[in-house]
Structure 1
Amino acid sequence: MTGGRARLRRTAALLLLAAAFQAGPAHAQSQAPTQVKALNKPKDVITWGASADHLGDGIADRSYRLIVHTSVAGGDLRIRLSNAFGDRPLTFDDVYAGVQRTGAALVPGSNRRLTFDGAKSVTIPAGAVAYSDPLPGKVPAATNLVVSIHSPDAAGPATGHGMAMQTSYATQGDHTGEEGATAWTDTTGSWYYLDAVSVRASAGIGAVVTLGDSITDGWASTSDLNRRWPDYLARRLQKSDTTVKGVANEGISGNKVLADGAGQSALNRLQRDVLSQPGVRTVFLFEGVNDLKAHSGVTAQDLIAGYREIIDRAHAAGKCVVGATVGPFKGWPEWDPAAEAVRQEVNQFIRSSGELDAVTDFDHILRSPYDQERMLPFFDGGDHIHPNDKGMAAMADAVDLKSLDCAK
């Protein structure tokens, strides 16, 4: 009986959520004077993001049903499709957005077509992105949004995000308009072609983008439960009185600040993945362990120069920058005393230089009091570099939310 009541409550909640998703314009017309309207005008704010990378080769006549979790609430949903790593034009002829019920199945009545300049199809040149038209209706925070896309001609290098820590679905043929799960028999742990979702949020609301590597990407957290540290941060922000509500996770596993490899370097992807996103108020910079751990010869001054360039470019774009110290990783196979010495020097810069707008000391939160070069076992995901769910939550709890709610 208890289980039955729980299922009924969940079904009712999903139906209400779907009704909100279809409810039409989210913002009523104000009767205030024109100058007040300009000051209080709602703006687009990113509610979900994932860094673009090269993801194998595209497959013609393939559909993807991509599950993403929103952060900030709003209306007039827009998605961004990316052909950043393609070498030829790419056409999408059917694109839909709905609300997940369970697995690949959608809440009945929630699946709606997205258009591009009024058309149902869009062709994206190689290296470019395309934004959908706004979709009227409200999108609540913490919604499992489902974006279904079909390309009749995908070929050559595909663009996407490899390590989603989220199950999505795929199938041959165009099944994007179907709300049932029958055709969606293939699963995937990656997001294809979709790299951002934004909403028209209430006036004064902004977002933070977390720029990082596999720790930010969520490795060692539990898949399908949104337990990456930026997810925990998003939940804290929703309950807070700050005006930063959106969180975009722009982490890439293995990513470096200075050198391309596992994705383009933080320096090379900063504009596309971070500064180009709508409504971003703050950049949260937590990256560097991959630069220093692989016996690459990177010095503390090399890494600090990279940080300074990110800080300068973000400030020039009117964004604040919060920096986080590099966490402990003794026990990881590539750790050695030389890399540890660089980490300590880099962390000293982050803590004391004054060049960042604020600092979060992840090193202090994660390290063991008995060996400060190692992660506390309670937080260790098992490989001595990636925190588990508890470590991810502790990281998010360490962030001073007011430090994100800033302006340049």
Structure 2
Amino acid sequence: MPRTARPRRRTALAALSTCLVLGCGAGATPQGAAPARPPGAPAEPGDGVVTWASSADRVGEAVDGRGYRLVVHTSVGGSGLRVRLSNAFGDQPVTFGNVHAGLQRDGAALVPGSNRRLTFDGARSVTVPAGGIVHSDPLPGHVPAASSLVVSLYVARAGGALTGHWMAMQTSYTAEGDHTAEESAAHWKQRTGSWSYLDAVTVRPRSAAGAVAALGDSVTDGWQSTTDLNRRWPDYLARRLAKSPTTTVEGVANAGIAGNRVLTDAPGQSALNRLSRDALSLPGVRTVFLFQGVNDIKVEPGATAAELIAGYRTLIDRVHAAGKCVVASTIAPFKGWQEWDPAGEAVRQKVNAFIRDSGEFDAVTDFDRVLRSPYDPERILPVFDGGDHLHPNDKGMQAMADAVDLASLDCGSR
């Protein structure tokens, strides 16, 4: 990262500490949280703008009496921070006994004075039914953009399936018992590479900002990027948006799931089946950025070009019916990956031709052209290859984000 970014980050961290403790700007008076909603319910007016999100899936078995200290990275800044807790894949209710939000100092330790309790309809505890989600009350104070936010959850009662996101590319922490109010790392000894229950954070920006939801697979999820440094391509995109004087899109929601497909479930629900929950329901989303299809192609038996194109068209129709725009990227090269074969490559070429030339998407970004080698266009350029010939490294992730036309993401506002 550039050296000049460090002083700016210290300023943002200090501001967040002060604001979460004292309140800043026109912090809204807390309002009662809405009852638990179905996971795919549309955002409501006044819900704000998503500043961070991850896509939910079943990630194991729920455990009573466990705490989770979850580290996330915001995109857009604003007041009235709210968290969304998901039990979308649960088959039993889950009761959160305490939830706090603070600022990461180092590891599981928080900046002193930054940790604040979140409430739910005024109460510190909330029970989320199986299949439901719930939003916290807004927390007064301003949260700066690009902040390392820490949400600490205590699960008082739970059972059955645990809802979360297994490949976070971010270190979080767990503890036995309720230590959510503590700012020290003393009881948070266990590390985890997954996020549990938390699937979105929203704020109310000072200006009329919007957001983009990146619907994708393991590349969007960030595999082969550097853990804990926020170098997934949507992270680089968020940094570009924050500096842009021409776009009002500032929020970025990462809706990637490793191995995910457009057409069929496994792993996770298909893009078509999770579109509403993971993208359209997020507050402030104007545009869905679709970068998916390689997993449909490379599995055996793989999807045909006609099947994948039909899936894209269904997704386009649903996004447009929700009053939002859809930007798509071509499928990147993956020759050298163990499941690559000439037949799958032929499907990829046909699908990419549709994405580029059909005119059915509101805009197109050509990740294929950005990442491919000029010497063998069926392969990723070695300097961008994370090592497995499918997933880009940090440089590749940044090149992808740099290729996005930022103006295209604002289309939902027109």
Q: TM-score, normalised by structure 1?
A: 0.93
Q: Does the aligned pair in 2 maintain the 1:22–1:136 contact within 8 Å?
A: no
User: What is the Cα deviation at residue 25 of structure 1?
Assistant: 5.6
- Structure 2 gaps, min length 5: 29-44
Q: Does the aligned pair in 1 maintain the 2:27–2:141 contact within 8 Å?
A: no
Partner of 1:15: 14
Q: How many residues align?
A: 392
SS of the residue corresponding to residue 154 of structure 2 reads: strand
Query: Is 1:87 the equivalent of 2:87?
Result: no
The aligned runs of 1:141-152 (5 Å cut-off) are 141-152=145-156
Query: Is 1:351 the equivalent of 2:356?
Result: yes
Query: Is 1:219 the equivalent of 2:223?
Result: yes
User: What is the Cα deviation at residue 10 of structure 1?
Assistant: 7.4
Q: Tell me how large the CA RMSD over aligned residues is.
A: 1.8
C-alpha distance in 2 between matches for 1:297 and 1:107: 49
Partner of residue 326 from structure 1, selected from 331, 334, 340? 331
Q: Does the aligned pair in 1 maintain the 2:261–2:270 contact within 8 Å?
A: yes
C-alpha distance in 1 between matches for 2:151 and 2:144: 15
User: Over residues 349-388 of structure 1, what are the superposed CA-to-partner deviations in whole Å (9 max), with x where a residue is unaligned?
Assistant: 0000000000000000000000110110000000000000
Partner of 1:159: 163
Instruction: Summarize the Cα distance change of 1:212–1:8 in structure 2 as closer, same or farther, 3 Å threshold.
Output: closer
Q: AA paired with 2:20?
A: F
C-alpha distance in 2 between matches for 1:181 and 1:356: 47
Partner of 2:287: 282
User: Over residues 70-127 of structure 1, what are the superposed CA-to-partner deviations in whole Å (9 max), with x where a residue is unaligned?
Assistant: 0001000000000001111110010000010110000111100000011000000000
Partner of 2:304: 299
**Percent of counterpart pairs with the same letter?**
68
The aligned runs of 1:5-404 (5 Å cut-off) are 14-24=13-23, 26-27=25-26, 44-241=48-245, 242-404=247-409
User: What is the Cα deviation at residue 161 of structure 1?
Assistant: 0.1
C-alpha distance in 2 between matches for 1:114 and 1:28: 14
Q: AA paired with 1:295?
A: E
Q: Does the aligned pair in 1 maintain the 2:95–2:158 contact within 8 Å?
A: yes
Q: Does the aligned pair in 1 maintain the 2:262–2:311 contact within 8 Å?
A: yes
Instruction: Summarize the Cα distance change of 1:199–1:355 in structure 2 as closer, same or farther, 3 Å threshold.
Output: same
User: What is the Cα deviation at residue 294 of structure 1?
Assistant: 1.3
User: What is the Cα deviation at residue 23 of structure 1?
Assistant: 4.0
User: What is the Cα deviation at residue 15 of structure 1?
Assistant: 3.1
User: What is the Cα deviation at residue 8 of structure 1?
Assistant: 10
User: What is the Cα deviation at residue 181 of structure 1?
Assistant: 0.4
C-alpha distance in 2 between matches for 1:47 and 1:12: 19
Q: AA paired with 1:201?
A: P
- Structure 1 gaps, min length 5: 1-5, 30-40
User: Over residues 264-288 of structure 1, what are the superposed CA-to-partner deviations in whole Å (9 max), with x where a residue is unaligned?
Assistant: 0000000111100000011000000
Q: Does the aligned pair in 2 maintain the 1:57–1:157 contact within 8 Å?
A: yes
User: What is the Cα deviation at residue 20 of structure 1?
Assistant: 2.4
C-alpha distance in 2 between matches for 1:197 and 1:239: 21
Instruction: Summarize the Cα distance change of 1:133–1:9 in structure 2 as closer, same or farther, 3 Å threshold.
Output: closer
C-alpha distance in 2 between matches for 1:60 and 1:26: 38
User: Over residues 42-87 of structure 1, what are the superposed CA-to-partner deviations in whole Å (9 max), with x where a residue is unaligned?
Assistant: 7600000000000100111000000000000100000000000111
Q: Does the aligned pair in 1 maintain the 2:20–2:116 contact within 8 Å?
A: no
User: What is the Cα deviation at residue 398 of structure 1?
Assistant: 0.3
Q: AA paired with 2:370?
A: I
